[in-house]
């Protein structure tokens, strides 16, 4: 389950995320979701003994964003660049990707780096991102980006 601080942080960015989604959809842009799902045999569990985000409700997209879901790309690691997502990017000839959500210091950071290394321009919407580690972790992610 999410801690109170995670819920507060998530609530803080949700109005901004919704405005972004609505703006992009109105402009005819694609809006896609990713979802991290941990597994019992992952290195997160085996090496660092972190066993969160393995099943619902922890892995669910929050209710306020449900109406905007077109596709959800499940991922077993920080980066969005799974085989399915990479294929989607290629088929749709995407050359710029706008990133927002959770977590600035890991998933957003890794996806941005992977995007950059694939020749796709990453744009981070920093006021629509947060980190489970709090403001310091978010700021560290933004600094590295």
Banded model confidence at residue 5, pLDDT cuts 50, 70, 90: very low
pLDDT at residue 1 is higher than 60:
no
Per-residue model confidence as pLDDT tens digits over 59-109: 899 999 999 999 999 999 999 999 999 999 999 999 999 999 988 999 999
Mean pLDDT for 6-34 is: 86
The per-residue pLDDT of the chain, averaged, comes to: 91
Domain count, the chain: 1
Banded model confidence at residue 28, pLDDT cuts 50, 70, 90: very high
| Domain membership of residue 34 as a residue range | 4-144
The reported pLDDT for the residue numbered 102 is: 87
CATH number assigned to the domain comprising residue 129? 3.40.50.850
Mean pLDDT for 123-140 is: 92
Strand-strand pairing, 96-102 and 72-75: unpaired
Contacts of 71 (CB under 8 A, 6+ apart): 32, 33, 88
The structure tokens listed for 38 are 């941990």
Contacts of 53 (CB under 8 A, 6+ apart): 36, 37, 38, 59
């Amino acid at each position: 389950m999410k801690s109170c601080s995670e819920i507060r942080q998530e609530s803080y960015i949700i109005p901004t995320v919704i405005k972004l989604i609505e703006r992009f959809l109105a402009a005819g842009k694609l809006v896609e979701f990713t979802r991290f799902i941990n597994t019992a045999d992952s290195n997160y569990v085996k090496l660092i003994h972190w066993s969160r985000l393995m099943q619902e409700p922890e892995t669910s997209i929050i209710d306020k964003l449900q109406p905007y879901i077109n596709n959800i790309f499940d991922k077993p690691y920080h980066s969005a660049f799974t085989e399915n997502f990479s294929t989607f990017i290629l088929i749709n000839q995407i050359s710029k990707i706008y990133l927002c959500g959770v977590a600035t210091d890991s998933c957003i950071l890794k996806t941005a780096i992977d995007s950059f290394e694939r020749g796709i321009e990453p744009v981070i919407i920093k006021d629509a991102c947060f980190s489970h580690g709090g403001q310091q972790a978010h700021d560290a992610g933004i600094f590295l980006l």
